[in-house]
Structure formats: C-alpha cells, structure tokens
Chains A and B, each alone.
Chain A
Amino acid sequence: MNSKMSDRRGFLKRSAALAGLAAFANGKALASVTPGLVTGVADTKLGVTPDEPTIQDLLYGGRSSYEKTIAIPSIGTLGATGLRTLTPLQDTIGVITPAPYHYLVQGDTHIPNIDPSKHTLIIHGMVDRPTVFTMEELKRLPSVSRVHFLECTGNSGLAHYKTLLQDLKKGRKDVSVIQGVHGRTSTSEWTGVLLSVLLKEVGVQKGATWFVAEGGDIQAELHAKSIPLAKGMDDVMIAYGQNGEAIRREQGYPIRLFCPGFQGVCSVKHVSSIKLVDKAYMMQREITAYTNLKPNGMASRYESQVGPKSLITFPSDAHKLPGTGFYELSGIAWCGRGKIARVEVTVDGGRTWKDANLQQPIFSKAWTRFRLPWTWNGAETVIASRCTNEFGELQSTMEGLAKLWGDDVTPHIPAAEIERWWANTNIAEFLNNPIQFWTVKTDGSVADATYAPLYKLPV
C-alpha cells in the first residue's frame, strides 16, 4: 500500500517536472527548437531521489553508486610512480573486461592523446607499394570483431609476488594475490582490419619474414617490436574498436596493433609504422627486458605465445566466505593457442578433479568462464583449476614452469635462493601459467597456496 502511494507521488512529481519542462521549452527555446530543447532537458532532474541522474549524465552513463570495483595501481615502484593498473579479476563477470578495468602497462608516464584526423599508418620496407593509410581509409576496409585476451608476459610471475610481499610489508591494504600477481590480463572484443588485408594491398616482397611495428607520438618512447610475418598474415589486426567503442586513449587510441595470444608487448599501441624486414630487428625492449634469462646466463627470446592458463576467481584471496553452504565456484581459463577445451576443478587439494561447466560460446585466444557448483562444509581445504586447450596441452604447475624455463627456481629451493636470483635485477620470468591453488580456511578466508610455499610462509 505504502509503496503504491509512493509510486503515485513519484508519478505526480515527474508529471509536474515534465509540465514545467514543456513550458520552459515553449517559452524559451522555440526559436532554435532542437538545441534549446536539449539544453532544457539537461538542466532538469526528472526523478524523485536526490541522486537522480540528469539526461546529460546518461549520455555516457555511469554505474550504480553502490558499485565500488576498480582497477588498482600496480604494485611496487611502478605502481607508485608509473601508469600501470591491474584488472580486478576477483570481481570479473563473464568474459568481457569493461574498458575502465583493462590492465595497463605503460612504458613511461606519457600517454599520447592523438588526433585521429592527423594519425596515419605507413606500411613500408620490403613491400611493392609503400602505402600510407588514414584512419578514414582504414575504417573503409573490411573489418572483423573478435574476442581476445591481452596479457602482460610477466603476469603471474614470482617477481610480482615478491613485489606484492614488499607492498604488504609497507602496509598497502588494497591488493591481493589474485589482482596483484595475476591482474595483468583482460579480455575485450577488438574490432579492426586484419593486417593480412593491408599486406595484400601493399604487396609483400619475397624474402620478407618479419615486420617491425612502431607506435607512439614524439613524446612517447616510440616502442618498436619485431613480429613474425607468418603471425601477421594469420590473425594480427589493426584494431580501432574495444568493446563496442573506440579504443581507449591508454589502450592505444586511435589504433593499436593487436596480436592475439601473444605477450602484450607485441600489441603496439598508437601504431604508426609497419616495416617489412627479413629478420628480427633486435629492438631495445624485445632484446633486453623481454628476454628470458636462465641461471646459466643464456636467454631465450621471441617466445611470445601464452600457454594454457586458468584460475579460480571466486573464491580467491580477495574474498571471505560468510559461512558454510552452497557456492558457485567460478573462474577464467585462456590460452594463446586455440580454444579452451576443458577445465577441471579440485576442491580437495588435488585428490580428485571434476569437469567445470564452460560458458558458451568459447572463443579462440580468449577468456573462457568456467563454473562449478560447490557446497563448503566448513573444513579447511585447497581448491584449484587446471585447463586443457583444444590441442590437448595442459596448464603447467610452478614446478613444471621452473623446469621449462631452466630456472633453478623450484618449490624445493629456499626463499633466500629465490631472493638472491631476483634481488636488485629487473629480470622477470615470463609466460607464467602455474596452477593457482587457494586454501579455504575454517574462518572462510582464502589464501594463496601456490606462491606462498616458495617463500615458506604460512599457507
């Protein structure tokens, strides 16, 4: 009864507001009908509550004031001083990352703001017809929209865990393992022109095997990256759309190279130039920071493809279960090669694994959401997920990764040894896809059980 009364009052108020608006429009704005009317509407609150949005607020709308999820500044020095953010994986829903949550790894502290009417893409080098494309021309060409993940190659690395521990020691409260260690991955629908379309237009010469993409503006660092031409002919795109709108400024507006399944550094933002060449060009970043140094002093390079990878996003160490009973376990799985075919989940520390339900449709080189019903009986237990791609390749363990990379960083080596290896260097291990174990404690809190044991911390 009361609620009906209240609705009725609301209706009356809204009617009065509309009547006032009409009078305003009639009295003041008829000379230039449309602009006047829009101004009038924008200035008028039509609703009943004090925080009611105006129509101006709704033209590029916001979310409910009750929603507080944000990307957070990255960890360590770069989080404090650089422009780097982490995707809140613990709050992700489905497989699409809204643009404001998309992780950011910016090489410096300048983000170009490029006028698209002045931006061009030049394709040159070993081509028959060096060509300059304007934005308008790129958008005229046949386009594709594809759902793909992007991931920083150092994501989920031990180095990030170490930095996270330092941040926690300094008293930082807003960061967890799931966001601090794993938050450099996001999935979007990317729209653009396939590079293969452009390469056919310009005519690739015999002998060209790589291309170098260069991007930025004169005040940015002009990042350049060598990419194998075969990848370029396969599925690389010049992307101008992200989740149904223009790519965000910090994601490379007005265009970025997008290399599906490859480490993020390949997807050059604000791409301006593509030069076809006959070898990898040993550009600064790809040959220093992005090589994978082993303890024997040798390094591997140009390893770009992200392996099969998954983690449970609920519950994770950012959550606390309020009590026993039913919960839907949920997480994401992705792979730089093909589609996710299977995700298995354990709720008993790895003794048994059950197939999780996979959200359809499953996209290639994209997050796949998995879900599994679970009833928690209140006992301490360890949960985890592991995935397999359509080629039967299985997610690694931390131990397997250590063997793969030839590192002597294994779970059996004391924390001091790992510290020794990472201390005072900018060396990071790459393409990390370890199984993430979470310990659900009796009080409902959740703790990381993959990284902490390496440092002999209580799990």
Chain B
Amino acid sequence: MRHMHLYTSCRCKFLLPVMVLLACGTAMAQTPTYKVGRPPTAEELRTWDNLVGPDGKELPVGKGTAQEGAVIFAARCAVCHGKDGVGQWPFARLTGGVGTLNTANPIKTAASNMPYATTLFDFIHRAMPAWPFPRDLTANDSYALTAFILAKSGIIKDTDVMDKNSLVEVQMPNRHGFYPDPPQDKPDDKDGTWLPLWEHAPGAKPAAK
C-alpha cells in the first residue's frame, strides 16, 4: 500500500499539466482558486493514509494467527482489556457476546457488534495500544491480534491465517445487524437543507400531565 501511494504521488506530478488542461476544458469548478497548500510528502502520506475501510483495499502486507496473537495480547493488551479480552468498562470488551444483541442482556463487543473485521484491524493497527502510545504494532502484530480476538469469540479457528485477503472474507456475526443507513447523500428536495432524521420522528403530542 505504501508503495502504491508513493507511485500515485509521483505520477500526479507528471500528469498534473495534463489534468489541468483537461480540467480547463471540462470542469472549471475543479481548478483551485486560492492556490495555497502543497502536495504531501511520502512521509505524510504514510502517516495519514492508513485508514482501513470495509473493503480492505488499504490493508497492509503481513499475516498472523490467533496463536501468535495470544502472546502479543498477553504482553500488550491484557493490562486493560483483561486476559481474554473481557475487560471492564471503561475499557472496551473485545471478545464474546456473540448472539446476545437481541437478548435482555446485550453484550456489545468488538466481536459481537462490528459488521466488518476490517474495523477491528484498523483500530488495533492505527490507534492501539492506547498506553503508552499507539501505532507501535507491526502489520503482523495487528493481524495476529485481530485473529486472536476473532478466534476467542468463535468466529475463526485458532490456526486461521489473517492477511489482507482472508481478513475481508471473515463473516462477522453482526454483518446484517444494522438497519439501512439513513439517506446521507442528497439534500432535502424542498429547501436544499440536510435531509433530517426527524422527518420520520413521531409528531410528538405533548402529554397532558
């Protein structure tokens, strides 16, 4: 992924004049008005272009298993999240809870709630461990830790290898546990303002006390 971004930024330099010409011909609105700012360095792209979305296209090269993850988890994660990832509030509970969301005692964990395993990998790799400081895990570490949490929750096997291909294939138990997202991409027809969630709110009839 890192190489690809470097390539993209290099290519842009050569193509820029062409793009500008094309832009002049087609979409004037896309021409910068104020011309402030500068292109990012390769280092800046490495630092910031690492969010992993649900299709996993940003996943880095690397791999890991739950067995490898168990060792890292004990050393780096258990202090907050508990030995088996069942840490107590305010630390997130990571494992278990699968099948409880529609019960009287729903247990929201990374395993029971996240619709995509990429979310788990992304947060571990980008923002964990919170103490002493994040972004301290290699891609292999993060794949292994993701595998550990998934295996602990019965979603994959202990020996399953997680990598950029297998991770996106993981069927999370709560993949279909969400209502369709409310419309996000079109403004309200009538007045051009944001389409409100509250259009389908009940007309609140003030209670006669």
| Residues of chain B from 18 to 58 with CB closer than 8 A to chain A in the complex | 19, 23, 29-41, 44-45, 48-49, 51-55
Question: Contacts A132-B40, A305-B196 hold; do A218 and B135 have CB atoms under 8 A apart?
Answer: yes
> Which residues of chain A are within 8 angstroms of B89 by Cβ–Cβ distance?
77, 426
Is A455 in the interface zone, CB < 8 Å from B?
no
Interface residue tally of chain B, by bracket? Answer: 35 or more
Q: Which of B63-71, B152-160, B186-194 contacts A (4 or more CB under 8 A)?
A: B186-194
Contact, CB under 8 Å: B39 / A130: yes
> Which residues of chain A are within 8 angstroms of B49 by Cβ–Cβ distance?
124-125, 275
Question: Contacts A282-B119, A296-B102, A337-B194 hold; do A397 and B207 have CB atoms under 8 A apart?
Answer: yes
Contact, CB under 8 Å: A283 / B37: no
> Which residues of chain A are within 8 angstroms of B73 by Cβ–Cβ distance?
none
> Which residues of chain A are within 8 angstroms of B113 by Cβ–Cβ distance?
287-288, 291, 299
Distance of A236 from chain B, by nearest CB (Å): 11
> Which of B32, B105, B126 touches A203 (beta carbons < 8 Å)?
B32
Contact, CB under 8 Å: A338 / B197: no
Not counting A124-B49, A134-B37, A304-B197, a sample of 17 additional A-B residue pairs whose C-beta atoms are within 8 angstroms of each other reads: A120-B44, A124-B48, A132-B44, A137-B36, A200-B29, A201-B34, A203-B30, A209-B184, A228-B185, A277-B51, A288-B92, A297-B103, A297-B177, A298-B179, A337-B196, A350-B208, A427-B108
> Which residues of chain A are within 8 angstroms of B4 by Cβ–Cβ distance?
none
Contact, CB under 8 Å: B39 / A230: no
Is A409 in the interface zone, CB < 8 Å from B?
no
Closest-by-CB residue of A relative to B184 is A228
Bound Cα distance from A201 to B115, whole angstroms = 35
Nearest 7 interchain pairs by C-beta: A297-B102, A228-B184, A284-B123, A349-B209, A131-B37, A297-B101, A273-B48
Closest-by-CB residue of A relative to B187 is A230
Closest-by-CB residue of B relative to A142 is B34
Most chain-B Cβ atoms within 10 A of its Cβ — which of A134, A140, A210, A393? A393
Contact, CB under 8 Å: A287 / B114: yes
Distance of A61 from chain B, by nearest CB (Å): 35
> Which residues of chain A are within 8 angstroms of B104 by Cβ–Cβ distance?
420-421
29 A–B contacts from the bound complex (CB under 8 Å) = A78-B90, A122-B45, A124-B48, A132-B40, A133-B36, A133-B37, A134-B37, A200-B32, A201-B36, A209-B184, A218-B135, A234-B194, A275-B49, A284-B120, A295-B102, A297-B102, A298-B179, A299-B113, A301-B181, A302-B184, A307-B196, A382-B209, A384-B209, A393-B196, A400-B201, A423-B105, A425-B107, A426-B108, A435-B207
> Which residues of chain A are within 8 angstroms of B202 by Cβ–Cβ distance?
396, 400, 403-404
Most chain-A Cβ atoms within 10 A of its Cβ — which of B35, B55, B115, B119? B119
Question: Contacts A131-B37, A273-B48, A288-B110 hold; do A283 and B122 have CB atoms under 8 A apart?
Answer: yes
Contact, CB under 8 Å: A299 / B116: no
Is A449 in the interface zone, CB < 8 Å from B?
yes
> Which residues of chain B are within 8 angstroms of A283 by Cβ–Cβ distance?
51, 119, 122-123
Is B130 in the interface zone, CB < 8 Å from A?
yes
Is A34 in the interface zone, CB < 8 Å from B?
no
**Per-residue contact bits, chain B 142-173, to A (CB 8 Å; 1 contact, 0 not):** 00000000000000000000000000000000
Contact, CB under 8 Å: A437 / B209: yes
> Which residues of chain A are within 8 angstroms of B199 by Cβ–Cβ distance?
393
> Which residues of chain B are within 8 angstroms of A230 by Cβ–Cβ distance?
184-187, 194
Most chain-B Cβ atoms within 10 A of its Cβ — which of A125, A219, A288, A393? A288
Bound Cα distance from A423 to B9, whole angstroms = 51
Is A174 in the interface zone, CB < 8 Å from B?
no
Distance of A119 from chain B, by nearest CB (Å): 12
